[in-house]
Chain A
Amino acid sequence: MKKLKLLIPLIIIFFTAGCWNYRELNDLALVSAIGIDEEDGLYKVSVQIMDPTQESGGSNTSSSSEATPIDVHFGKGKTIVEALNNITLNQPKRLFLGHTDLIVISDTLARKGIEDFIDFLLRERESRKIFPVVIVKNAKAIDVIKLITSIEVISAKSISSSLKNTKNNNGIVSDRLFDEVSMCLFMEGREATITAMELIGSIEQGEKKENQSTSEPNTTFLISGSAVLIDDKVIGYLPQKESLGYTFLRGLINTSTISVPCDDEGNYAGIVLEKTKTKLTTKIEEDKPIGEINIDIKAVISEFNCNLDLNKSRNITKVEKATNKEIEKLLDDTINKVQTDFKSDIFGFGEYLYKNNYKTWQKYKKDWNKLFSTMPYKIKVKTIIRNVGTTIDSTKNSYKKDG
């Protein structure tokens, strides 16, 4: 009897708590990407739903080759939730956002502000907060959602893994996942940036399955740089080169490559940057902020086309200096462009003050972006070349010697 008394609450716990979240897998529409546009003053939210029967070709399904691996549906509403709910009106399953890989925002909407749907995504409990957010420059978000890409059939996966590889090996995009973007919005002293992309080729053709069946796809995406924000509004775009400079200044480079002119004949050396350490500080002198950037780089020569004998350490130093100069120039261009074109402190000079000198920050915080746009700065880059690869001399040089 005593045991029975213990058992009853246990059973009640199981049955009352149980099943509240029960969803059979076949009743779910697995959303891989969400696109957000604006139409007639309403949000137009489109979702890319992975079609499992097409994707994996399970043994008990008859997959026709004409069908696309993704379905795209959209709904409209005054809020994102309403729009998402309205998607149920034209497709049979319940939307599941737990595996969302990508959020695409159209340029026109991003210029008006992204705060509203950041709020939705932060509140929403199903999705993970680690998907990338991109802004599409020259098309609507739904066009990216509809795109069928070649190697990876689902474009959301294709774009997000492309972003990941770019981040690890190229450096044009840095770690700009949803959580990072939303953090930037709440942070003092640094404005947000969001990865920007473009669609190349005809938008109509990109929706068809033929796009996948040609060796060179008609339509594809291109990661084109970064969008610069002030508060929650996009005000402009950094092209690829300056976007790389931005990643340098934020210290988010994993590995990157840079071409350095190494002699007077216009030859280049390919330098792979392996370890980069960025130190960004802000000083106040005579009531005005001065930025200071110190970068330590450990690099490897992986291509060398110059008439220099790499056996001599003097020449290595020469290459190091040339690398320093090249990177300094890149960073200078980047800061200059941001200061003149956007007047938005995306690098975090203000953040340094906020963290290290709070009282001063309180004083300047009001019109920091204005101060930033005229702020003088010093850049110092120090490169150490650790390795020259598996051969020492350039092929050009050894060819001459032998001849």
Chain B
Amino acid sequence: MKTEKSKTPLFEDGIKIIETIKKKTNNSPDIIIKKLTFSNNDLYLVFSEPLCDKKIINEYILEYFEESNIKIRKNEIVDYLNQNIPTHKTTKIDSFENLFYNLLSGFTIIIIDGSDTAISIENKSKLDSGISEAKNEVIMKGPKDAFTENYESNLGQIRRRIKTENLWLEEVVLGEKSKTKVGIFYIKDIAEQALVDNIIDKIGKIEIDAIMGSNYIIELISENKRNVFPNYLSTERPDLVAMHLLDGRIAIVVENTPYAVIIPALFVDFFHSTEDIYQKTINISYTRIIRIIALIITLLVPPIYIAITTYNHEAIPESLLINFAAQRSGVPFPTIIEALFMLVTFEVLRETNLRIPSTLGNALSIVGAIVLGDAAVSAGIVSPIMVIVIAITAISGLSVSSFDIINGIRWWRVIFIVAAALSGLLGVLLAGIAFIVSLTSIKSFGIPYLAPIAPFINKFHSDAVFLTNKDKFYHRSKLTASKNPHRSKGE
């Protein structure tokens, strides 16, 4: 931690400490300082009003000092209080940096006049909205709880699912100004130690003034900065995190972020859903194939349509070609302009829909239906078939639940469309090669992104595209969990 380097020790004089606090916080009105007397000694209670639970201060701390009339020696007060204050967690503080960190994290600080050690008492008030249902990763069966902004509660939700002592947590505080807690979870006897060390090391080296969310950390430690495809899974579901921890992956939980991040993530992971754990395995394989087909459709339907209507007319049955020709006959623009127009309109609508307050949603969907629908056709701007092409593309694009990968695929869709417009099916082929080259060249924290498909690892297809039955589902992924490769006693 950066803060450890330059520590300023506390003064012995309590009044001097209080003056320093007042000076550094510019007499901030939310910082309350109360003077008490204990065993003939002056004590100062310092806490931040909005962050602390006033009930605890009133009922336990203030009452305790009022009622106790024990006499002890001056130099023993710190130890005595540290042990005897009726609260679950007390820590000793000996530097100003620590003092401010604790004070602004919601601790109550007791400064003892004449001692260079202060005591902090944990009495944070609950500032989050409590555990609520997952809103973005909705599933039918399975638990409904989701991560919240509260760091401790998030840790608890993971701990609750994996009760082994081998679930280890490394905690670092990042951000010069924000002092955000970052927890790195991994299961000691499954995860690769080298990967864990590497990631902890990288995270420890981060120098930034504030961490606003988990993606800050990923962007700072990832080697895959330029590629549009994500090498991390971000999820609001603790059960998904638990599942991946059991596969030897590493979860990063960041204070104030209702999302945990799982690394390393592979390409196939984005076609898995949390739902998959709770459904019949044989049906999940079908669903996953549908998801992959949807990916191919959303990527390839517009470029192939453009290619066959502007270059490769011989590649489709003639009755279909006549249909296309009939529908195109009234449209004044080239097919590529038509396609880009519709695509941009759809993307704008989607973006608007995400940001718009839900009360305006109805109005938007009416307007959207007009722009992307029959009215656009009768206005002669687009052909009906193009509406269908873009609609299929849009629907298929939404079937892959991960937002991160869809955002990446949007780039590639445009590349494919431009390639198709420049040289037809040949262009689509070239763009396809580029797409695959780009995917295979990614390494997700040292692991080939397309594994276990390329390189093909037969053994680990038990949970790649097809999900085998649970009784045959022995293997963890070799790539992330080689030292403890079997889930059950089988094999």
Contacts and interface: CB of A to CB of B under 8 A. Distances in A.
B222 interface: no
A365 B68 CA distance: 129
B322 to A, nearest CB: 5
B166 interface: no
Contacts of A60: 327, 329-330, 377-378, 380, 383-384
A152 to B, nearest CB: 10
A212 B368 CA distance: 44
A101 B314 CA distance: 12
Contact of B322 (A22, A23, A30, A61): A30
Nearest to A13: B430
B313 A23 contact: yes
Interface string A1-43: 0000000000000110111011111101010100000000000
Nearest to A98: B314
A126 B314 CA distance: 8
A25 B335 contact: yes
A264 to B, nearest CB: 53
Interface in A44-78: 50, 52-53, 55-61
Interface stretch (B35-43, B77-85, B147-155, B417-425): B417-425
Interface in A91-134: 96, 98-99, 101, 126, 128
A61 B330 contact: yes
B329 A24 contact: no
Interface residues of B, number: 31
A52 B318 contact: no
Contact of B329 (A17, A50, A53): A53
B309 interface: yes
Give the interface centre of B309, B327, B335 by most chain A CB atoms within 10 Å. B327
A149 to B, nearest CB: 16
B311 interface: yes
A52 B267 CA distance: 44
Contacts of B419: 14
Interface in A301-343: none
B436 to A, nearest CB: 16
Interface residues of A, number: 30
A23 B311 contact: yes
Given A25-B328, A59-B384, A52 B311 contact: no
B427 interface: yes
A21 B311 contact: yes
B427 A14 contact: yes
A18 B321 contact: no
Contacts of A61: 326, 329-330
Given A56-B322, A98-B314, A128-B314, A15 B422 contact: yes
B326 A58 contact: yes
Contacts of A15: 422
Given A23-B311, A60-B330, A28 B325 contact: yes
A279 to B, nearest CB: 38
Give the interface centre of B328, B378, B419, B427 by most chain A CB atoms within 10 Å. B328
B484 interface: no
Interface of B: 309-311, 313-314, 318, 321-331, 334-335, 377-378, 380, 383-384, 419, 422-424, 426-427, 430
Interface of A: 14-15, 17-19, 21-26, 28, 30, 32, 50, 52-53, 55-61, 96, 98-99, 101, 126, 128
9 closest pairs, A vs B, by CB?
Answer: A18-B422, A58-B326, A98-B314, A52-B326, A52-B325, A99-B318, A56-B326, A18-B423, A60-B330
